[in-house]
Structure 1
């Protein structure tokens, strides 16, 4: 019999070390992290439910974020340890997750779920829960085989410097919200979300670049990320103010950050981009990136 435990948001902190072990074991086999950065933030700050299987060690888990604002969707991410797959644990977690959402989320609130890696089993579980594919996210990759990816072609009206934690927070958050106004996750970042990321062991302001115009106003950024112990660096987020689009600032910032990662002795660079963002996909293709993996978001509102 499957041993299920439902933890309220205030109780999840007691399971986070075990959850990290479970996620790491799955990532080795799947080559994908089962939980996104924002889900970890919500778990650490006591804003997510957690359903677990296993007793001495976790064999599976479902993280469920139910925003207080019903216009924002419920977010679900689920994982089963590789050694325990095929035994009905995924089905049990999905059933328990559906019960939790039915009990605690308003009927009008959309439910979304991510599968990191387009696994047939995950598609089957999503379909059985009444969810349909709604969004495709590519992980693109580029091998680092040189010390530089070329000169940065930056207009004289812009300068690039590194982000200053604290001093730049408010202005960067405003720029990020403007640059990603239509993005369901990135554009919603708050000061608390930024603080949580700055507290991560991978955060390094030396790899967080911002662009200013002649008035000293932030108009673009490229935030790179290199997880501790990883051989891959990440184009974590690139954004520019709409007023600068077409100026080449986005490409200049991208190459500037790529050169930073190339100088760090890493093996490759990865990034995540929505299939619908064709301008960005085309830019990354032109820079030599290729699709390495596909994530799919399923939704009850497809």
Structure 2
């Protein structure tokens, strides 16, 4: 018997059996049976799962993520800043550096100096090098940048021992470079301003934690007729003044012109006061003069500026 004949025979037998079966049922039984078959096809009791629904065994990493979800970068940065602020314990407004700087504050011809609100660096640790001492003040400097706006702080004072850095402009300049470089390298905002190629050009400003600073320095080697005269103080000082502090005192915009005979603005009065005291200070020809030259002044205005920002010497 060939294949075709076999198929015809099989389907014929099946058809006859199906007809006999159906003939023994009522039309209602056939209807209900049909509905039952349809329900199995269209409404399964347990629908098939998609591949994504397959249960994975929980991993340690998944459990940790659920218990300790990652915080956003900004949130993490604030948490770190808050933690540092809470850990800083010394009284920055009453440090020996601030106390010793008082003689300069009280004798300065700047009309804002006597009432200026300063925070200071901790006492110098002679068992550490310069880098180590600057690392010690970084937490307080960070706290200063966080608080200076709300508390209207005028400056952060860094004291360097005069017997190491107060002999001449070169030693002090090398110290200034190292101080600012360490601070810049540890800038939480990652600006790293001391790594810029245009430090001695217009537009550069010292910056830490997104706060820009005007920097003034004082040292014992400056003579009495110099605006950076230290009034007998034995140590060197780097004064980081946040530029926002000028707004606190309503200081007018910078200008190269001065009304010497009838000073009108606060800026005029400060310049005249320094001149009358015999300590006139250099006024750049342009308000856009690079700031870097104002940080460390030569002993005589006829001397060339020491390029401290190019210092490659190993600081003591």
Structure number with higher strand proportion = 1
Please give the range of the TM-score, normalised by the shorter of the 2 chains. Answer: under 0.3
**TM, length-normalised to structure 2:** 0.27
Return the index of the structure with the highest Cα Rg.
2
Report the TM-score, using the length of structure 1 for normalisation: 0.28
Higher relative contact order (CA 8 A, sep 6+): 1
Q: Say which structure is richer in helix.
A: 2
